[in-house]
Amino acid sequence: MGQAVIIAASSIICALVLYKVYRRLRFKLPPGPRAWPVVGNLYDIEPVRFRCFAEWARTYGPVMSVWFGPSLNVVVSNSELAKEVLKEKDQSLADRHRSRSAAKFSRDGQDLIWADYGPHYVKVRKVCTLELFTPKRLESLRAVREDEVTAMVQALFNDCTKPDESQKGLVLRKYLGAVAFNNITRLAFGKRFMSDEGVIDEQGLEFKAIVANGLKLGASLAMAEHIPWLRWMFPLEEEAFAKHGARRDRLTRAIMDEHTRARQTGGAKQHFVDALLTLQQKYDLSEDTIIGLLWDMITAGMDTTAISVEWAMAEVIRNPRTQEKAQEELDRVVGLDRVMTENDFSNLPYLQCVAKEALRMHPPTPMMLPHKANANVKIGGYDIPKGSIVHVNVWAVARDPEVWKEPLEFRPERFMEEDVDMKGHDFRLLPFGAGRRVCPGAQLGINLVTSMLGHLLHHFRWTPQEGIKPSEIDMGRIRGWLLT
């Protein structure tokens, strides 16, 4: 019996090794760091992945193989290859790799973000393009955005004028997080879970707990995520995922029911939940898809905007000349008697350049979202077998000295000298990706970031905490700005 087990185990191992050798000989894979048996390169990857991959690309080149256990990940790091992935070979590379948690959360791609490219994806994407993210809807939700930014300015003003607080400095992240939270929940669910005093109601607390639990579950898989045969060692997840899904559905259904009742008495509103319920029949959307789409907006739209503004503010404080120039422009165009609105953007070119430069240097999704090859395809002359996971390191592309002058300098003026598109048409600058999976919320994201940044600079003057010179700010630890 014991002998039979040993023979069976060795046959499986031999078959696996032979299959790997066959794959490597059959395909001319991109170069990459030496992979260890079983774990591949998992133990060599540094915690800040995009920096680590950018560093490795210096040795192995702009298209590189990295093994996450037995899965081949291909990382591209220059604009030419980004174009090949996101434009020329876009159709073969538009599937999504779903981690186990993403697969569970999205009911195996019933949403948009985690759906493979196919009829379901095309339908849902059409809902986004033709219905949810139209210029008209963007405009009709403008009042919500301006309302929230104004509330942020008010909260900042109240906190920094409290007599004993004025010299302590503020953790800006808290305020940016609140604007992003209120904006996205109002946009998606048509509800403000937070009172004017900043107190979150019961539904809001449940919402926050679900978001936090989702993050915890997503992060808990680590090694078993990448090495499928290790998964038996982590049985707890199934139950936790099921509970999480049920909790999320319960809350969303309760909100959807409220909207259905409200629509019976009054007209439909512009929020996504109302729009989706109204369009459910027209596009044949299942309830799972509506719930999935609403949560996609939360996942994709909340932290991305807050993180972008936090980086932008860090750069502005580190570069006082930029702050002065942006404020001079705001004072000249908007003046001191009224507040800025989105209508002013077209007359504030420097402010727009500051937002763009921040998104160049600090894209909040530095490796975009993982794409997957649905066929054998070639990138940069190398073979990319069907099923490989493909990443574009947009952080590295936007800092490539081959295509950017002084790429490590925060210099918004570069975009006054040359207007570079950032919504997927110029492959040097891809904070929103490009091609068929480009971020559908790009314009909304840009408006939110520019608006938050504009208000912060128009209403306040910002300095680092006492004793720290702007040039000494550690960009690895941004918090606690002092505003005057």
The reply to whether 99 sits near ligand HEM by the rule CB under 6 A is: no
**Measured distance CA(132)–CA(138) in Å, rounded:** 8
Nearest to 403 by CA among 438, 374, 430, 368: 430
Among 172, 176, 334, 439, interactor with ligand HEM by CB under 6 A:
439
For the CB of residue 247, give the shortest distance to ligand HEM in the complex, in Å.
22
Among 62, 204, 214, 433, interactor with ligand HEM by CB under 6 A:
433
For the CB of residue 116, give the shortest distance to ligand HEM in the complex, in Å.
10
Map residue 336 onto helix, strand or coil.
coil
The reply to whether 440 sits near ligand HEM by the rule CB under 6 A is: yes
The reply to whether 374 sits near ligand HEM by the rule CB under 6 A is: no
Count of all residues that appear for the chain in the document = 484
For the CB of residue 192, give the shortest distance to ligand HEM in the complex, in Å.
16
Instruction: Kindly give, in sequence order, each residue whose CB lies less than 8 Å from that of residue 401, ignoring residues fewer than 6 positions away.
Output: 407
Does 160 show up as a binding residue in the annotation? no
The reply to whether 322 sits near ligand HEM by the rule CB under 6 A is: no
**Measured distance CA(437)–CA(92) in Å, rounded:** 12
8 A C-beta contact, residue 54 and residue 395: yes
The window from 154-162, 229-237, 345-353, 360-368 that contacts ligand HEM (CB under 6 A) reads 360-368
DSSP 48-64: SHHHHHHHHHHHH-SEE
Site string for ligand HEM, 15-44 (x = CB under 6 A): ------------------------------
Among 308, 322, 323, 388, interactor with ligand HEM by CB under 6 A:
308
The window from 4-12, 70-78, 273-281, 361-369 that contacts ligand HEM (CB under 6 A) reads 361-369
Which residues 110-169 are close enough to bind ligand HEM by CB under 6 A? 112-113, 125
Q: How far is CA 45 from CA 33, 49, 66, 188, in A?
A: 10, 7, 9, 36
The reply to whether 297 sits near ligand HEM by the rule CB under 6 A is: yes
Cβ distance to ligand HEM smaller for residue 35 or 314: 314
Q: Which two tokens stand for residue 93?
A: 């590379």
Question: Is residue 231 classed exposed, middle or buried when 0-12, 13-18 and 19+ CB atoms within 10 A define those classes?
Answer: middle
The reply to whether 365 sits near ligand HEM by the rule CB under 6 A is: yes
For the CB of residue 473, give the shortest distance to ligand HEM in the complex, in Å.
22
The reply to whether 369 sits near ligand HEM by the rule CB under 6 A is: yes
The reply to whether 452 sits near ligand HEM by the rule CB under 6 A is: no
Q: Where are the alpha helices (DSSP H) in 61-164?
A: 79-83, 100-105, 119-127, 135-140, 142-160
Nearest to 198 by CA among 180, 175, 169: 175
Q: Where are the alpha helices (DSSP H) in 172-265?
A: 172-189, 202-219, 222-226, 237-265
Cβ distance to ligand HEM smaller for residue 32 or 431: 431
For the CB of residue 307, give the shortest distance to ligand HEM in the complex, in Å.
8
Map residue 20 onto helix, strand or coil.
helix
Among 300, 316, 384, 473, interactor with ligand HEM by CB under 6 A:
300
The DSSP secondary-structure symbol of 343 reads G
Query: Among all residues, whose Cβ is closest to ligand HEM?
Result: 441
The reply to whether 304 sits near ligand HEM by the rule CB under 6 A is: yes
The window from 53-61, 249-257, 328-336, 442-450 that contacts ligand HEM (CB under 6 A) reads 442-450
DSSP 359-422: HHH--SSTT-S-EE-SS-EEETTEEE-TT-EEEE-HHHHTT-TTTSSSTTS--THHHHHS----
Q: Which helix (H) or strand (E) holds 354?
A: helix 349-361
Number of residues that bind ligand HEM (CB under 6 A): 26
For the CB of residue 346, give the shortest distance to ligand HEM in the complex, in Å.
19
Nearest to 370 by CA among 155, 139, 116: 116
The reply to whether 366 sits near ligand HEM by the rule CB under 6 A is: no
Virtual torsion, Cα 405, 408, 413, 414, nearest 10 deg: 30
Cβ distance to ligand HEM smaller for residue 86 or 482: 86
The reply to whether 301 sits near ligand HEM by the rule CB under 6 A is: yes
The reply to whether 444 sits near ligand HEM by the rule CB under 6 A is: yes
Q: Which residues are annotated as part of the binding site for heme?
A: 439
Site residues (vs ligand HEM, CB under 6 A): 112-113, 125, 296-297, 300-301, 304-305, 308, 363-365, 368-369, 431-433, 437-441, 444-445, 449
